[in-house]
Amino acid sequence: MDKWKVINAIEQTGIIAIVRGTKQTEILQIANALYDGGVRVIEVTCNTPGYLDMIEALAAEMGKKMFIGAGTVLNPITAQLVIDAGAQFVLAPDLNPEVIRLMHEKCKLTIPGVATPTEIIQAHRLGVDVVKLFPAGALGVRYLKEIRGPLNGTAIIPVGGINMGNVAEFAQAGAFAVGVGGELIDKNAIAEGNYSVITDKAKNFIGTFLTVKGNQEYTLGLQGDMNI
């Protein structure tokens, strides 16, 4: 898998959907609801029970329409397991050179977690293309804006605490995209079997983010499959 295809899909849609703590029986309905809302990049976190089975199911059923990834990848063993299950990219809450090295060997995208300029620069030295600013909600929009002063060439994806109240601000501050979990994967709606809520939320997040970024081509239609 060409990692640049994943990066392109992230940039075009502006959203990585983060699935955490849901049931295996729900994953395909969640993915289809997200897809209908315009999401093309989805991750299942590795602290979700049954995450490998979920990744396998997504790769089998949605792999021609969405890019499937794994989140909360803390070590190279887990990275290898999720790749074997069908993951095309991984995210982590930390900067782990061993995970990065393995993903480079597999020619797959890795998005490590960073919180300081030092970590961002270290990630660049390790050959990382995109970083995850975590926890973005606690660090704040102003923090992102200020670190992009000297590091404005860095593709930064804020994750943690992203919601409809601040997504436009993060886009305005220069976020490459955002990762959205609980604010998008509405567990009450899932419990009620009302997956259209997730579709509507996905459209709102994508539309808001891309309108600020000026990507009207994708925003207007929320259409077209990525080159997967």
Share of the chain above pLDDT 90, in %: 93
In a domain, 109, yes or no: yes
Q: Which whole number is the average pLDDT over 198-226?
A: 83
In a domain, 140, yes or no: yes
Note if 105 is an active site residue.
no
In a domain, 228, yes or no: no
Give the pLDDT band (50/70/90) at residue 216: low
From the list 3, 56, 108, 132, the catalytic residue is 132
Kindly tell me if the per-residue pLDDT of 220 is higher than 90. no
Kindly tell me if the per-residue pLDDT of 221 is higher than 80. no
- How much is the pLDDT for 63? 96
Kindly tell me if the per-residue pLDDT of 74 is higher than 70. yes
In a domain, 40, yes or no: yes
Say how far apart CA 24 and CA 35 lie, in whole Å. Answer: 18
Could you tell me which residue, 188 or 227, shows the higher pLDDT?
188
In a domain, 172, yes or no: yes
In a domain, 210, yes or no: yes
- Inter-residue contact 92 to 110 (CB < 8 Å): yes
From the list 43, 56, 108, 201, the catalytic residue is 43
By C-alpha distance, which of 57, 54, 38 is closest to 46?
54
Note if 145 is an active site residue.
no
- How much is the pLDDT for 227? 73
In a domain, 221, yes or no: no
Q: Which whole number is the average pLDDT over 51-62?
A: 98
In a domain, 113, yes or no: yes
Kindly tell me if the per-residue pLDDT of 78 is higher than 60. yes
Could you tell me which residue, 151 or 225, shows the higher pLDDT?
151
Could you tell me the CATH number of the domain that includes residue 64?
A: 3.20.20.70
C-alpha to C-alpha distances, 38 to 31, 69, 97, 137, 223, nearest whole angstrom: 11, 17, 33, 24, 7
Kindly tell me if the per-residue pLDDT of 49 is higher than 80. yes
- How much is the pLDDT for 178? 98
Terminus-to-terminus CA distance in the chain, angstroms? 8
Share of the chain above pLDDT 70, in %: 95
Task: Tell me which residue range forms the domain holding 188.
Answer: 3-216
Q: For the chain, what is the domain count? A: 1
- How much is the pLDDT for 225? 73
Residue 174 pairs with which residues in a beta bridge?
Answer: none
